[in-house]
């Protein structure tokens, strides 16, 4: 018995997470944020002082972690909520680095597949449509110019700082609020994710590509729903 899957892949900061969670809650399906698994691995390695260049040690670490995704959005690793701590740029870049390791990707394969439960799954990442769920009923690949993604990220960080209880909270680091630096980091991460040998970031042959540069979140959400209805 298998259940339907919608995959939402694409570049960093393109809004995959927002669209995927909107879709999952609209359909009342499960949601897999696969990037969080790479982020958790990188974050825990940084915390424990494990060398990010050591593929075997990073893979062993990933295999040893007990991770719970709660409905509230909290992510517990060994009982600690690390949902905010894994969202920094530094963790994103480190996640992209460890994500180049074939052993780690193999170790996370079954973990990701285990999210597929009734009545269905929305899976967000870089290789959901190409590698993890090649039989998905609908595959979406989201793109937007690096400039536009940078601007969106900048606005998010600005809002976060404005609303933080303590301005310049520990989520923000030097350069985090420099737009050209944000765009440069986005381009670096795209380059690393697209050019790795193991499951590189690319659209599946049967994916529908949506360029969101000039679209709102609601435009994208409605387009995906229309595509889903057509695929029924
Ligand atoms: O989606 P994200 O920004 O949280 O992902 C962080 C990094 O993890 C991303 O730059 C590359 C890696 N990743 C991956 O290689 N494969 C996935 N399915 C998801 C993320």
Question: Tens digit of pLDDT for each residue in 152-162?
Answer: 999 988 887 77
Q: Residue 13 has which token pair?
A: 């900061």
- Report pTM: 0.93
Per-residue confidence (pLDDT) for residue 158, from 0 to 100: 85
Measured between alpha carbons, how far is 195 from 162 in angstroms, rounded to an integer? 36
Tokens of 206: 């049967």
Which stretches within 14-76 are classed as H helix? 16-27, 34-48, 55-64
CA distance 101 to 49: 18
What CATH fold (topology level) applies to the domain 5-227?
Rossmann fold (3.40.50)
Closest atom of ligand 1 to CA, residue 99: 15
Q: Residue ranges per domain, the chain?
A: 5-227
Pick the range with the lowest mean pLDDT from 10-14, 113-117, 153-157, 168-172: 168-172
Residue with tokens 């381009």: 187
Contacts for 59 with CB less than 8 Å, ≥ 6 apart: 101, 103, 104, 107
**Which of 91, 125, 187 is the best mutation target for the ligand 1 pocket, counting ligand atoms within 8 Å of the beta carbon and taking the most?**
125
Ligand 1 lined by 95 (C-beta under 6 Å): yes
């Amino acid at each position: 018995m298998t259940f339907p899957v919608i995959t939402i892949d694409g570049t960093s900061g393109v809004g995959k997470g927002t669209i995927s969670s909107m879709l999952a809650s609209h359909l009342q399906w499960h949601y897999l944020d696969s990037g969080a698994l790479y982020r958790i691995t990188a974050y825990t390695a940084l915390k424990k002082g494990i060398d990010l260049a050591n593929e075997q040690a990073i893979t062993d670490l990933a295999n040893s972690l007990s991770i719970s995704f709660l409905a509230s959005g909290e992510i517990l690793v060994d009982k600690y909520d690390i949902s905010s701590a894994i969202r920094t740029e530094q963790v994103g870049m480190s996640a992209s680095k460890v994500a180049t390791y074939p052993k780690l990707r193999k170790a996370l394969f079954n973990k990701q597949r285990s999210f597929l439960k009734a009545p269905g799954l929305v899976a967000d990442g870089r290789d959901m449509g190409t590698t993890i769920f090649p039989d998905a009923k609908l595959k979406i690949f989201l793109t937007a110019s690096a400039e536009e993604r940078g601007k969106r990220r900048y606005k998010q960080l600005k809002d976060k700082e404005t609303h933080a209880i303590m301005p310049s909270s520990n989520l923000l680091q030097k350069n985090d609020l420099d737009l050209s630096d944000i765009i440069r980091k986005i381009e670096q991460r795209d380059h690393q994710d697209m050019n790795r040998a193991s499951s590189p970031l690319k659209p599946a042959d049967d994916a529908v590509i949506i360029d969101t540069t000039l679209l709102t979140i609601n435009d994208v959400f409605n387009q995906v729903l229309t595509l889903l209805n057509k695929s029924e």
